[in-house]
Amino acid sequence: MQPNKSVTEFILLGLTQDPIRQKIVFIIFLIFNTGTVVGNLIIIVTIKFGRTFGSPMYFFLFYLSVADTCYSTSIAPRLIVDAPSAKKVISYNECMTQVFALHLFGSMEIFVLVLMAVDRYVAICNSLHYPTIMRQQVCIMLITLAWIGSFIHSVTQIVLVLKLPFCRSNLIDHYCCDLQPLLELACTDTYGINLLFVSNSGAICLISFLLLMISYFVILHSLRNHCAEGRKKTLLTCTSHIIVVVLFFGPGIFIYTHPSTTFPMDKMMTVFYTIGTPFLNPFIYTLRNAEVKNAMKKLWSIKPKKANDKMRV
């Protein structure tokens, strides 16, 4: 996995070099990562073993929580361990693995968010045909395509990175390995490769964001035909979803569509979509849901479910 590379390890500069701020970073992100993992694991277990979660919405929520858990743990543990360290060393192979995981689970989260928006659109705007359109076989096919698409995207990114010759400084001005910081260390012309990165990662972020915004706009526009109570409930739900989408896609679009030069705010922007959004998703999408909270309380005290009560995940 290391063909013709003179660099065998990289040194991450992290979020800050100040010792006091490093301790603050350690504490804050330890809390965030613990909350992310615990919150998403609770949701995964609840949906997997709960009897009442038979709708496609919870089917997709299950995979959103899986993606969030894997996405966060591919980045946050390294940041937490490195925060109090004087020298933050990461091996070449570990760096490449982190790039692969970052894009695999990051793109999976994007695709699942799009699928959830499609599900909500069909449920609200085409409710009569919802059971036929979003049947179990269709949902399984969609989530399979999401995994395949994420894998192809991540493989494409890592193949491009592996071709880069690193013979300059091994200092990465970031807290994780990603495309743009690595491009700056390559001792070759990276203009063409950067265009490929932008057309891949940048296009996925931008197009998915536009699709999500269009779907939510159509959903909100269709509320005029609903009763006042239904409008209020859907409006609150869509508003919270839109906030998370903006926090996730806004920084991602900024990072993956600007030129290969990195900016001082890049690291803080990356925090939003690698650590912040996975932490918020359990609260926004499920833990605010009364059905989920009741299922958590009753999960271990209810009788065995019937055969067709829920969609298997």
Burial letters 136-163, b for 16+ CB under 10 A, else e: eeebeebbeebbeebeebbeebbebbee
CB-CB contact of 107 with 154 (8 Å): yes
Amino acid 5: pLDDT: 53
Q: What does the alpha-carbon distance between residue 53 and residue 58 come to, in Å, rounded to a whole number?
A: 6
- Containing 122, the helix (H) or strand (E) segment is helix 92-125
CA 28 to chain centre: 20
Handedness of CA 226, 282, 64, 277 (dihedral sign): positive
Amino acid 288: pLDDT: 60
pLDDT digits (tens, 9 = 90+) for 245-277: 888 898 888 888 876 666 667 888 888 888 888
pTM: 0.85
In the block, tokens 């605010």 appear at 288
Amino acid 261: pLDDT: 65
pLDDT tier, 287 (very low <50, low <70, confident <90, very high otherwise)? low
Handedness of CA 253, 77, 184, 263 (dihedral sign): positive
pLDDT digits (tens, 9 = 90+) for 200-250: 888 889 999 999 989 888 888 877 766 676 677 777 777 777 888 888 898
Lowest mean pLDDT among 62-71, 151-160, 282-291, 297-306: 297-306
Burial label, 246 (beta-carbon count in 10 A; 0-12, 13-18, 19+): middle
Please give the share of the chain, as a percent, with pLDDT higher than 90. 25
Amino acid 145: pLDDT: 96
Which residue(s) pair with 91 in the sheet? Answer: 9
Closest residue by Cα to residue 57 from 130, 147, 148: 130
How far is the first Cα of the chain from the last one, in angstroms, to the nearest whole number? 34
pLDDT digits (tens, 9 = 90+) for 39-49: 898 888 888 87
pLDDT digits (tens, 9 = 90+) for 137-169: 999 999 999 999 999 999 998 988 888 888 768
Amino acid 311: pLDDT: 53
- In the predicted model, is pLDDT for residue 297 greater than 80? no
Q: Where are the domains of the chain?
A: 9-298
Amino acid 4: pLDDT: 43
Superfamily (CATH H level) for 9-298: Rhodopsin 7-helix transmembrane proteins (1.20.1070.10)
The Cα-based distances of 139 to 49, 74, 131 in angstroms read 19, 27, 11
- 71 is written with which tokens? 């996405």
CB-CB contact of 189 with 266 (8 Å): no
Amino acid 255: pLDDT: 84
- In the predicted model, is pLDDT for residue 312 greater than 60? no
Greater confidence (308 vs 297) lies with: 297
CB-CB contact of 126 with 46 (8 Å): no
- In the predicted model, is pLDDT for residue 307 greater than 50? no
Q: Give the three-class secondary structure for 21.
A: helix
